[in-house]
């Protein structure tokens, strides 16, 4: 690929407040050092029960210090990555790989069919070449309600997907879109979709 066609797929930005976080982490580390010094300097000499209690407390504090250390190290240089989704097809064009998306459901009472249908329709409306996108619904409960909801969704998708592509609708989930849509762009087409 030529260098002049290169466009970044994401932008990296540093998290605001890193210095504040590092100051707090340093003060916590100082406190941990004081606790360890206290435990080592004032180790009890008399009484077997006191000694084992002291050792147990010291080991648990060391365990939590180790946990704190690893969680702090992972956040020390925190960054945000802001993706440019529209540049993916610009950069790779026809070389985009095929994608299989599995939507799983089991119980129509716990996962209402309307939620499953909205998920499937939202995935179908992705800005990705349709011939390279495969969506599978796995209904482990074998619910008739989910089956008939998907039949209705298949009919609705014939209207919804062109509507999303034509007007670049965001969010692509019908439920979320109709909840947030206030003024339609094309009132007649909008009402027919709704």
Tokens describing residue 63: 């365990």
Which of 135, 136, 167 is closest to 177 using CA atoms? 167
Q: Can you give the pTM of this predicted structure?
A: 0.55
Q: Are 104 and 138 in contact (CB under 8 A)?
A: yes
Using H for helix, E for strand and C for coil, what is the string for 147-167?
A: HHHHHHHHHHHHHHHHHHHHH
Rg (CA), the chain: 28
- Report the share of the chain in percent with pLDDT over 90: 37
3-state SS assignment for residue 12? strand
Under a CB-based contact definition with an 8 Å cutoff, are residues 134 and 100 in contact? yes
C-alpha separations of 96 from 50, 60, 93, 124 in Å: 66, 50, 6, 16
Question: Which residue would you say has higher pLDDT here, 46 or 182?
Answer: 46
Q: Which residue has the higher pLDDT, 156 or 193?
A: 156
Domain residue limits, the chain: 11-79, 94-193
- Give pLDDT, residue 135: 92
pLDDT digits (tens, 9 = 90+) for 60-95: 999 999 999 999 998 888 888 988 877 877 777 778
Chain-centroid distance, C-alpha 85: 15
Q: Which residues are annotated as a binding site?
A: 111, 140
Task: State yes or no: pLDDT of 6 exceeds 80.
Answer: no
What gap in Å lies between CA 176 and CA 154, rounded to an integer? 18
Binding residues for UDP-alpha-D-glucose: 111, 140
Chain segment 140-172, per-residue pLDDT in tens: 888 889 999 999 999 999 999 999 888 888 888
């Amino acid at each position: 690929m030529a260098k002049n066609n290169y466009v970044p797929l994401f932008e990296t930005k540093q998290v605001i407040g890193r210095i504040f976080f590092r100051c707090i982490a340093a003060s916590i580390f100082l406190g941990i050092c004081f606790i360890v010094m206290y435990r080592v300097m004032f180790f009890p000499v008399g009484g077997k029960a006191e000694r084992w209690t002291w050792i147990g407390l010291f080991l648990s504090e060391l365990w939590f210090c180790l946990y704190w250390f690893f969680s702090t190290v992972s956040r020390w240089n925190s960054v945000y990555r802001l993706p440019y989704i529209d540049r993916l097809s610009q950069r790779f064009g026809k070389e985009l790989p095929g994608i299989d998306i599995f939507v799983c459901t089991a119980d129509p009472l716990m996962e209402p069919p309307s939620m499953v249908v909205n998920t499937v329709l939202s995935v179908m409306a992705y800005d990705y070449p349709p011939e390279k996108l495969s969506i599978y619904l796995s209904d482990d409960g074998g619910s008739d309600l989910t089956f008939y909801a998907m039949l209705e969704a298949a009919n609705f998708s014939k209207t919804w997907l062109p509507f999303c592509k034509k007007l670049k609708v965001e969010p692509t989930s019908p439920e979320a879109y109709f909840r947030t849509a206030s003024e339609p762009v094309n009132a007649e087409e909008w009402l027919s979709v709704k």
